[in-house]
Amino acid sequence: MSDFAWPAGAATGIGSLPGTDIVEAQRVVLGELPDLPHLPELPERGPGADILGRSAGFLVDLPVQLYAGRWQLAPRPGQDLRRTADLLERDLDQMTEQGDGFTGVFKVQAAGPWTLAAGLEMLIGGRVLRDPGAVRDLTDSLAEGLRRHVDDVRKRLPGATVLLQLDEPSLPSVLAGQVPTESGLSSYRAVEAADAATALRTIVEAVGVPVVAHCCAPGVPLRVFRDARVAGFALDLALLKDLDPLGEAIEAGVGLFAGAVPTSGPKPDGKQAAERVRKLWSRLGFSPAKAARQVVVTPACGLAGASPAYVRAALIACREAGRRLAEA
Protein backbone atom coordinates (compact mmCIF):
# COMPACT_ATOMS: atom_id res chain seq x y z
CA MET A 1 0.00 0.00 0.00
CA SER A 2 1.27 3.51 -0.80
CA ASP A 3 -1.59 5.87 0.01
CA PHE A 4 -2.47 6.87 3.54
CA ALA A 5 -5.86 7.90 4.86
CA TRP A 6 -4.41 10.55 7.18
CA PRO A 7 -2.79 13.88 6.24
CA ALA A 8 0.95 14.50 6.43
CA GLY A 9 2.18 15.57 9.84
CA ALA A 10 -0.91 14.27 11.63
CA ALA A 11 -1.21 13.50 15.34
CA THR A 12 -3.89 11.67 17.29
CA GLY A 13 -4.69 10.11 20.65
CA ILE A 14 -4.88 6.42 21.44
CA GLY A 15 -8.39 6.59 22.86
CA SER A 16 -8.84 6.72 26.63
CA LEU A 17 -8.92 9.97 28.60
CA PRO A 18 -9.54 10.74 32.30
CA GLY A 19 -12.82 11.89 33.80
CA THR A 20 -16.47 11.30 33.05
CA ASP A 21 -17.44 14.38 30.99
CA ILE A 22 -17.74 13.36 27.34
CA VAL A 23 -18.63 16.93 26.32
CA GLU A 24 -15.32 18.28 27.61
CA ALA A 25 -13.34 15.26 26.38
CA GLN A 26 -14.65 15.63 22.83
CA ARG A 27 -14.00 19.37 22.94
CA VAL A 28 -10.37 18.80 23.96
CA VAL A 29 -9.80 16.18 21.26
CA LEU A 30 -11.33 18.24 18.45
CA GLY A 31 -9.48 21.32 19.64
CA GLU A 32 -6.02 19.84 20.08
CA LEU A 33 -6.03 17.18 17.34
CA PRO A 34 -7.71 18.91 14.39
CA ASP A 35 -6.07 16.74 11.69
CA LEU A 36 -6.99 13.37 13.20
CA PRO A 37 -9.40 13.57 16.16
CA HIS A 38 -10.82 10.44 17.75
CA LEU A 39 -13.85 9.36 19.74
CA PRO A 40 -12.74 9.64 23.39
CA GLU A 41 -13.16 6.70 25.76
CA LEU A 42 -13.81 7.50 29.43
CA PRO A 43 -13.36 4.31 31.48
CA GLU A 44 -13.87 6.18 34.77
CA ARG A 45 -17.59 6.14 33.98
CA GLY A 46 -17.58 2.51 35.07
CA PRO A 47 -18.91 -0.73 33.58
CA GLY A 48 -19.75 -0.34 29.93
CA ALA A 49 -17.10 2.35 29.48
CA ASP A 50 -14.19 -0.03 30.17
CA ILE A 51 -12.40 -1.59 27.21
CA LEU A 52 -14.04 -5.02 27.55
CA GLY A 53 -17.58 -3.90 28.28
CA ARG A 54 -17.57 -1.09 25.73
CA SER A 55 -16.18 -3.29 22.96
CA ALA A 56 -18.44 -6.25 23.81
CA GLY A 57 -21.32 -3.85 23.25
CA PHE A 58 -20.54 -4.00 19.52
CA LEU A 59 -21.15 -7.75 19.36
CA VAL A 60 -24.20 -8.76 17.30
CA ASP A 61 -26.44 -11.51 18.74
CA LEU A 62 -23.86 -12.25 21.46
CA PRO A 63 -25.09 -10.37 24.55
CA VAL A 64 -22.87 -9.95 27.59
CA GLN A 65 -23.45 -9.24 31.27
CA LEU A 66 -21.48 -8.48 34.40
CA TYR A 67 -21.19 -11.35 36.84
CA ALA A 68 -19.08 -11.06 40.00
CA GLY A 69 -17.36 -8.06 38.46
CA ARG A 70 -16.41 -9.87 35.25
CA TRP A 71 -17.87 -9.64 31.78
CA GLN A 72 -19.31 -12.87 30.44
CA LEU A 73 -21.53 -14.00 27.59
CA ALA A 74 -25.20 -13.87 28.57
CA PRO A 75 -28.34 -15.80 27.53
CA ARG A 76 -30.16 -12.54 26.70
CA PRO A 77 -29.58 -8.77 26.70
CA GLY A 78 -30.00 -7.11 30.10
CA GLN A 79 -29.36 -3.90 31.99
CA ASP A 80 -25.57 -4.09 31.67
CA LEU A 81 -25.82 -4.11 27.89
CA ARG A 82 -28.39 -1.28 27.96
CA ARG A 83 -26.02 0.83 30.04
CA THR A 84 -23.19 0.16 27.57
CA ALA A 85 -25.41 1.12 24.63
CA ASP A 86 -26.58 4.29 26.39
CA LEU A 87 -23.01 5.41 27.05
CA LEU A 88 -22.02 4.84 23.42
CA GLU A 89 -25.10 6.65 22.15
CA ARG A 90 -24.26 9.63 24.35
CA ASP A 91 -20.71 9.64 22.97
CA LEU A 92 -21.89 9.46 19.37
CA ASP A 93 -24.47 12.20 19.90
CA GLN A 94 -21.77 14.48 21.27
CA MET A 95 -19.46 13.58 18.38
CA THR A 96 -22.25 14.43 15.94
CA GLU A 97 -22.92 17.79 17.59
CA GLN A 98 -19.35 18.96 18.05
CA GLY A 99 -18.11 17.41 14.80
CA ASP A 100 -20.80 19.01 12.67
CA GLY A 101 -19.25 19.97 9.35
CA PHE A 102 -15.99 18.06 10.02
CA THR A 103 -14.36 16.92 6.75
CA GLY A 104 -11.10 15.32 7.89
CA VAL A 105 -10.14 11.88 9.18
CA PHE A 106 -11.90 10.70 12.35
CA LYS A 107 -10.76 7.67 14.36
CA VAL A 108 -12.87 5.28 16.43
CA GLN A 109 -11.55 2.46 18.62
CA ALA A 110 -12.61 -0.99 19.84
CA ALA A 111 -10.91 -4.03 21.33
CA GLY A 112 -9.96 -6.64 18.78
CA PRO A 113 -11.22 -10.23 18.78
CA TRP A 114 -8.27 -11.70 20.68
CA THR A 115 -8.41 -9.24 23.56
CA LEU A 116 -12.15 -9.85 23.82
CA ALA A 117 -11.68 -13.64 23.65
CA ALA A 118 -9.01 -13.47 26.37
CA GLY A 119 -11.15 -11.28 28.63
CA LEU A 120 -14.75 -12.45 28.17
CA GLU A 121 -15.96 -15.52 30.05
CA MET A 122 -18.40 -18.13 28.79
CA LEU A 123 -21.51 -19.07 30.72
CA ILE A 124 -20.19 -22.59 31.20
CA GLY A 125 -16.94 -21.26 32.65
CA GLY A 126 -13.57 -20.33 31.25
CA ARG A 127 -12.66 -17.66 28.77
CA VAL A 128 -13.96 -17.60 25.21
CA LEU A 129 -10.33 -18.19 24.23
CA ARG A 130 -10.56 -21.85 25.32
CA ASP A 131 -13.01 -22.71 22.50
CA PRO A 132 -11.87 -22.08 18.88
CA GLY A 133 -15.47 -22.30 17.68
CA ALA A 134 -16.55 -19.67 20.17
CA VAL A 135 -13.66 -17.46 19.07
CA ARG A 136 -14.82 -17.70 15.45
CA ASP A 137 -18.39 -16.82 16.45
CA LEU A 138 -17.15 -13.88 18.48
CA THR A 139 -14.95 -12.67 15.62
CA ASP A 140 -17.78 -12.81 13.09
CA SER A 141 -20.12 -11.06 15.51
CA LEU A 142 -17.58 -8.32 16.22
CA ALA A 143 -16.91 -7.84 12.51
CA GLU A 144 -20.59 -7.24 11.83
CA GLY A 145 -20.98 -4.99 14.86
CA LEU A 146 -17.99 -2.84 13.95
CA ARG A 147 -19.20 -2.60 10.35
CA ARG A 148 -22.48 -1.19 11.69
CA HIS A 149 -20.65 1.14 14.07
CA VAL A 150 -18.46 2.51 11.29
CA ASP A 151 -21.51 3.01 9.06
CA ASP A 152 -23.24 4.90 11.88
CA VAL A 153 -20.24 7.20 12.33
CA ARG A 154 -20.11 7.82 8.57
CA LYS A 155 -23.77 8.85 8.58
CA ARG A 156 -23.27 11.17 11.54
CA LEU A 157 -20.11 12.74 10.06
CA PRO A 158 -20.87 12.54 6.32
CA GLY A 159 -17.86 14.64 5.33
CA ALA A 160 -15.35 12.59 7.33
CA THR A 161 -13.09 9.69 6.45
CA VAL A 162 -13.41 7.08 9.21
CA LEU A 163 -10.44 5.15 10.57
CA LEU A 164 -10.88 2.14 12.89
CA GLN A 165 -8.33 1.28 15.57
CA LEU A 166 -8.35 -2.27 16.91
CA ASP A 167 -6.87 -2.46 20.41
CA GLU A 168 -5.10 -5.76 21.06
CA PRO A 169 -3.20 -5.44 24.36
CA SER A 170 -3.75 -9.15 25.12
CA LEU A 171 -2.54 -10.50 21.78
CA PRO A 172 1.12 -11.03 22.77
CA SER A 173 -0.05 -13.16 25.73
CA VAL A 174 -2.52 -15.04 23.52
CA LEU A 175 0.24 -15.91 21.05
CA ALA A 176 2.64 -16.93 23.83
CA GLY A 177 0.13 -19.13 25.65
CA GLN A 178 0.29 -16.90 28.73
CA VAL A 179 -3.40 -16.14 29.34
CA PRO A 180 -4.16 -17.78 32.73
CA THR A 181 -7.14 -20.03 33.29
CA GLU A 182 -9.68 -19.24 36.02
CA SER A 183 -7.75 -21.21 38.62
CA GLY A 184 -4.53 -19.41 37.77
CA LEU A 185 -2.74 -22.75 37.89
CA SER A 186 -2.36 -23.12 34.14
CA SER A 187 -2.74 -21.16 30.91
CA TYR A 188 -4.74 -21.50 27.73
CA ARG A 189 -2.95 -23.00 24.77
CA ALA A 190 -1.03 -20.64 22.51
CA VAL A 191 -2.84 -19.47 19.38
CA GLU A 192 -1.01 -19.90 16.09
CA ALA A 193 0.08 -16.66 14.45
CA ALA A 194 -1.73 -17.58 11.23
CA ASP A 195 -5.00 -18.09 13.12
CA ALA A 196 -4.56 -14.79 14.93
CA ALA A 197 -4.02 -12.97 11.63
CA THR A 198 -7.05 -14.65 10.04
CA ALA A 199 -9.36 -13.41 12.80
CA LEU A 200 -8.02 -9.87 12.55
CA ARG A 201 -8.31 -9.94 8.77
CA THR A 202 -11.99 -10.87 9.15
CA ILE A 203 -12.52 -7.51 10.87
CA VAL A 204 -10.34 -5.61 8.39
CA GLU A 205 -12.26 -6.98 5.41
CA ALA A 206 -15.68 -6.41 6.97
CA VAL A 207 -15.55 -2.78 8.06
CA GLY A 208 -14.75 -1.14 4.73
CA VAL A 209 -12.38 1.50 6.17
CA PRO A 210 -8.64 1.56 6.94
CA VAL A 211 -7.77 -0.29 10.15
CA VAL A 212 -4.91 0.46 12.54
CA ALA A 213 -3.83 -2.29 14.95
CA HIS A 214 -2.81 -0.98 18.37
CA CYS A 215 -0.79 -2.78 21.03
CA CYS A 216 1.21 -1.00 23.73
CA ALA A 217 2.30 -4.22 25.45
CA PRO A 218 5.79 -5.73 25.04
CA GLY A 219 6.26 -8.06 22.09
CA VAL A 220 3.96 -6.36 19.56
CA PRO A 221 3.23 -9.02 16.89
CA LEU A 222 3.98 -6.90 13.82
CA ARG A 223 4.06 -9.91 11.50
CA VAL A 224 0.56 -10.93 12.58
CA PHE A 225 -0.72 -7.40 12.05
CA ARG A 226 0.88 -7.24 8.59
CA ASP A 227 -0.67 -10.57 7.62
CA ALA A 228 -4.03 -9.16 8.72
CA ARG A 229 -3.53 -6.39 6.11
CA VAL A 230 -3.90 -3.46 8.44
CA ALA A 231 -3.17 0.06 7.21
CA GLY A 232 -1.00 0.89 10.21
CA PHE A 233 0.44 -0.13 13.58
CA ALA A 234 0.10 1.89 16.79
CA LEU A 235 2.75 1.11 19.38
CA ASP A 236 4.83 2.50 22.24
CA LEU A 237 8.26 3.40 20.85
CA ALA A 238 9.84 2.69 24.26
CA LEU A 239 8.94 -0.99 23.93
CA LEU A 240 10.52 -1.50 20.51
CA LYS A 241 13.33 -4.07 20.62
CA ASP A 242 13.74 -5.63 17.18
CA LEU A 243 13.62 -2.99 14.46
CA ASP A 244 13.79 -5.32 11.45
CA PRO A 245 10.07 -6.28 11.37
CA LEU A 246 9.11 -2.63 11.69
CA GLY A 247 11.46 -1.60 8.91
CA GLU A 248 10.07 -4.29 6.63
CA ALA A 249 6.52 -3.17 7.33
CA ILE A 250 7.30 0.49 6.69
CA GLU A 251 9.08 -0.47 3.46
CA ALA A 252 5.90 -2.31 2.46
CA GLY A 253 3.87 0.86 3.02
CA VAL A 254 2.31 0.23 6.44
CA GLY A 255 1.74 3.39 8.49
CA LEU A 256 3.27 3.92 11.92
CA PHE A 257 1.28 5.48 14.75
CA ALA A 258 4.34 6.29 16.82
CA GLY A 259 3.80 6.41 20.59
CA ALA A 260 6.43 9.08 21.15
CA VAL A 261 4.89 11.15 23.98
CA PRO A 262 4.96 9.59 27.50
CA THR A 263 1.67 9.07 29.34
CA SER A 264 3.08 10.56 32.57
CA GLY A 265 6.04 12.48 33.93
CA PRO A 266 7.30 16.02 33.31
CA LYS A 267 5.46 18.28 30.90
CA PRO A 268 5.76 16.62 27.48
CA ASP A 269 7.79 18.31 24.78
CA GLY A 270 6.81 18.23 21.10
CA LYS A 271 10.36 18.91 19.94
CA GLN A 272 11.67 15.92 21.91
CA ALA A 273 8.88 13.70 20.56
CA ALA A 274 9.69 14.68 16.98
CA GLU A 275 13.36 13.97 17.63
CA ARG A 276 12.50 10.47 18.94
CA VAL A 277 10.68 9.70 15.72
CA ARG A 278 13.48 11.16 13.56
CA LYS A 279 16.12 9.07 15.34
CA LEU A 280 14.08 5.90 14.88
CA TRP A 281 13.48 6.77 11.24
CA SER A 282 17.20 7.33 10.70
CA ARG A 283 18.07 3.99 12.32
CA LEU A 284 15.59 2.30 9.99
CA GLY A 285 17.30 3.94 7.02
CA PHE A 286 14.39 5.92 5.62
CA SER A 287 14.39 9.50 4.35
CA PRO A 288 12.98 12.22 6.65
CA ALA A 289 10.46 13.24 4.00
CA LYS A 290 8.90 9.78 4.17
CA ALA A 291 8.23 10.15 7.90
CA ALA A 292 5.90 13.13 7.49
CA ARG A 293 3.55 11.11 5.31
CA GLN A 294 3.77 7.69 6.91
CA VAL A 295 3.96 8.54 10.64
CA VAL A 296 1.19 9.73 12.94
CA VAL A 297 2.45 10.92 16.34
CA THR A 298 0.54 9.67 19.40
CA PRO A 299 0.95 9.29 23.15
CA ALA A 300 2.67 6.05 24.18
CA CYS A 301 -0.69 4.57 25.19
CA GLY A 302 -4.05 5.65 26.59
CA LEU A 303 -4.23 8.67 28.90
CA ALA A 304 -6.96 7.56 31.31
CA GLY A 305 -4.53 7.76 34.24
CA ALA A 306 -3.28 11.26 33.47
CA SER A 307 -4.50 14.60 34.81
CA PRO A 308 -6.60 16.82 32.53
CA ALA A 309 -3.73 19.32 32.38
CA TYR A 310 -1.27 16.63 31.36
CA VAL A 311 -3.67 15.28 28.74
CA ARG A 312 -3.93 18.64 27.05
CA ALA A 313 -0.15 19.11 27.18
CA ALA A 314 0.43 15.63 25.75
CA LEU A 315 -1.95 16.16 22.84
CA ILE A 316 -0.39 19.56 22.10
CA ALA A 317 3.05 17.90 22.12
CA CYS A 318 1.84 15.24 19.69
CA ARG A 319 0.45 17.90 17.37
CA GLU A 320 3.68 19.93 17.54
CA ALA A 321 5.78 16.83 16.85
CA GLY A 322 3.68 16.02 13.80
CA ARG A 323 4.08 19.56 12.52
CA ARG A 324 7.85 19.40 13.00
CA LEU A 325 8.03 16.14 11.03
CA ALA A 326 6.04 17.75 8.22
CA GLU A 327 8.45 20.67 8.10
CA ALA A 328 11.57 18.48 7.88
| Per-residue pLDDT reduced to its tens digit, 137-188 | 999 999 999 999 999 999 999 999 999 999 999 999 999 999 999 887 899 9
- pLDDT for 33 beyond 60: yes
Residue 298 DSSP SS3: strand
175 within 8 A of 190, measured Cβ to Cβ = yes
Q: So what's the pLDDT on residue 161? A: 96
Q: So what's the pLDDT on residue 125? A: 87
Q: Taking Cα atoms as reference points, which of 195, 70, 59 lies closest to residue 137?
A: 59
- pLDDT for 113 beyond 90: yes
Beta strand residue intervals within 159-300, DSSP E: 161-167, 211-214, 232-236, 255-261, 295-299
| Per-residue pLDDT reduced to its tens digit, 217-255 | 889 999 999 999 999 999 999 999 889 999 999 999 999
141 within 8 A of 61, measured Cβ to Cβ = yes
Q: So what's the pLDDT on residue 185? A: 83
Domain boundaries, the chain: 22-327
Work out the average pLDDT over 83-97: 97
54 within 8 A of 116, measured Cβ to Cβ = no
CATH assignment of 22-327, among 3.60.15.10, 3.20.20.210, 3.40.50.720, 3.30.70.360: 3.20.20.210
Work out the average pLDDT over 113-138: 96
- Whether this prediction's pTM lies above 0.85 is answered by yes
